[in-house]
Amino acid sequence: MTFQQQIQQGIPSELPALKPFDTKINHAPKRKDILSDEEKILALKNALRYFEPQFHAELISEFRKELNEYGRIYMYRFRPDYEMKARPIGEYPGNSEQAKSIMLMIQNNLDYAVAQHPHELITYGGNGAVFQNWAQYLLTMKYLSKMTDEQTLTMYSGHPMGLFPSHKEAPRVVVTNGMVIPNYSKPDDWEKMNALGVSQYGQMTAGSYMYIGPQGIVHGTTITVLNAFRKIKKETKGGLFVTSGLGGMSGAQPKAGNIAGCITVCAEVNPKITKIRHEQKWIDEVHEDLNHLVARVQKAKENKETVSLAYLGNIVDVWEKFDQENLHIDIGSDQTSLHNPWAGGYYPVGISFEEANKMMAENPDLFKEKVQETLRRHAKAINKHTGKGTYFFDYGNAFLLEASRAGADVMSDHPTLGREFKFPSYVQDIMGPMCFDFGFGPFRWVCASGKPEDLQKTDEIACAVLEEIMKNSPVEIQQQMQDNITWIKGAQENNLVVGSQARILYADAEGRMKIAEAFNKAINKGEIGPIVLGRDHHDVSGTDSPYRETSNIYDGSRFTADMAIQNVIGDSFRGATWVSIHNGGGVGWGEVINGGFGMLLDGSEDADRRLKSMLFWDVNNGISRRSWARNDGAIFAIKRAMEIEPNLKVTLPNIVDENLLL
């Protein structure tokens, strides 16, 4: 069968041969045994409903084995034989170009060079899934290959519920992930529902088909690192940034450090992930001996090198060793997946990677105890460095939240509303006031042709648009504009592409709309192929996350999720090709609601109209909420937006004289 025929077939009518377990692939750790005997029977019934009854007798023992061995039913037998990668849009079968663009993005999320655990359909973060099993993938791709622009596919936590009649202005796909009743949002609730096959953790851009590899976070990390050094009034050359995590999103850190121009030390316990990042040239060197690492950092400091050094081992050992050697750390953070602390997101110190994975599955209570001991030790080592002048910030991975739950010394001696921890969130100090309040966030695009030359042309178009906008930009956003122009000019030489031909750029509503409009015109003229627009959920409007995206909201509303829900509803009727809304993502199940979108630009007048309507709303929804919280930058930005668009009328806050409150 051809690739197109396999896509259109969906779940095969004959059982494919069993596939051997590929040990060369980075696999998800075994999940803990959380289901009762009765629930395991239910999980099997749930899995088997995808298949004709004549196959049940053969599949039931196989699925039972998967459930017992891995804690999940992945249906490995049904993993496709074709190469998993984003193909040029014209290679996908179908009746809708919009549907083809979604198939392209789904396959990009599962590309072996992109996905963290591709055989388990997990893109990043240890549990950020595109689908729960391979039957869901096969059925979804079949639906997309059959759908027209008069239908919408509804996705329930990876399960394609079906194609429903709609109209050409409606989204082609509406995605929900993990949208459980609030009282059932504890980690063990997720473990149970995911094992049953009824819910999944979509992370942010995993379950919304918009992940573009580590590049997706490189730009934001670069901005964060640059501004962290600006904050401590030190140049990046010769400066030391210490952090951890090389899988998925966190793998962007060493590349961002190189772009910023500092010395980066990033610890990682997983040998496979470390090897992959080194082969992809996202890290320069790998070290396994702490003494050698210390000597290498000292040399780099003396020579003011720009270099990224991976340490294959636990980050706690690095913090403690650097303290013993009195090696000064300028800025520090952590980007392990602490939203997922008990299932592979964070590993205990003093225990091998293999031993820890075994303990995680076989003795989860002891594993949790060891993780919390490590968090306390981790925080203690950080406190020693901050006592010497290190600037440490939480990188939105729930490090401070989980450390506080473990009893670590991370709470402020003088807490105020929104500032409970002794260390700030990077959004509180950097990204919130400098970027999100002004409407700047991670706009991204994918060249659906798959051609590198199209990506180069889009880089040139985006740069020209930004340089033109900057000529008349107010002084309040000149730094942001210049940082983005510098970024896009260096994008090609930094070799950021992994998987699809994609780019990310921090832009405000004006920048996003004008860049997208210029792309659409170029497509119409035949200068480039179709473009898929999107963004990270980690943005101005899409996410309500009290310890990350909305951590610089101080009016008491940071635990509400109106903004994210309004955002995805608004995007859906203003022209998005697909929309998504998730529980969880980045900081943990039950800790955040986040939404995203995708939009196909095909050079048409319809696309031009939609992009202007949707992108304007997608940004200004968040600015208005931030303005109502009395954030100065957002008040400035929303007033400016109202001057540009007469139809925008936003309620502005009146500021109370602080003396009246005494």
DSSP 209: T
CA distance linking residue 114 with residue 662, whole number of Å = 55
Token pair in block for residue 117: 């655990």
Q: Is 586 annotated as a binding residue?
A: yes
Q: Which residue has the tokens 């009727």?
A: 573
Give me the residues paired with residue 64 across strands: none
Element of type H or E holding 294: helix 290-303
CA distance linking residue 529 with residue 544, whole number of Å = 35
Element of type H or E holding 215: helix 215-231
Helix axes 364-386, 315-324, angle to 10 degrees: 30
Q: Is 526 annotated as a binding residue?
A: no
Q: Which residue has the tokens 């388990």?
A: 120
Give me the residues paired with residue 151 across strands: 165
Q: Is 125 annotated as a binding residue?
A: yes
How many CB atoms neighbour CB 298 within 10 A?
12
**Among candidate residues 329, 43, 30, the one with its CA nearest the CA of residue 197:** 43
How many CB atoms neighbour CB 183 within 10 A?
8
Helix axes 478-490, 452-470, angle to 10 degrees: 160
SS3 559: coil
Token pair in block for residue 123: 């893109």
CA angle 273, 117, 258 (to 5 degrees): 35
Phi, psi of 395 (to 5 degrees): -95, 30
Token pair in block for residue 383: 């406190």
CA distance linking residue 126 with residue 247, whole number of Å = 8
DSSP 185: -
Burial 397-426 (b: 16+ CB within 10 A, else e): bbbbbbbbebebebeeeeeeebeebbbbbb
CA angle 273, 207, 73 (to 5 degrees): 75
Contact yes or no for 263/297 (Cβ under 8 A):
yes
Measured distance between the N- and C-terminal CA atoms of the chain, rounded to whole angstroms: 76
SS3 17: coil
**Among candidate residues 152, 255, 266, 195, the one with its CA nearest the CA of residue 41:** 195
**Among candidate residues 308, 314, 307, the one with its CA nearest the CA of residue 288:** 314
Type of residue at 569: I
Q: Is 5 annotated as a binding residue?
A: no
> 410 Cβ partners below 8 Å, 6+ apart?
379, 400, 403, 404, 421, 422, 423
Q: Is 50 annotated as a binding residue?
A: no
Q: Is 590 annotated as a binding residue?
A: no
Residue 44 gets the label, from left (phi > 0), alpha (psi -120 to 50) or beta, of: alpha
Phi, psi of 594 (to 5 degrees): -140, 145
Phi, psi of 126 (to 5 degrees): 85, -30
CA distance linking residue 373 with residue 383, whole number of Å = 16
Type of residue at 662: L
DSSP characters over 23-69: TTS-PPPPPP----HHHHHHHHHHHHTTS-GGGHHHHHHHHHHHHHH
Token pair in block for residue 617: 């709303």
Contact yes or no for 566/594 (Cβ under 8 A):
no
Binding residues: 125-126, 203, 268, 395, 586
Binding residues for NAD(+): 125-126, 203, 268, 395, 586
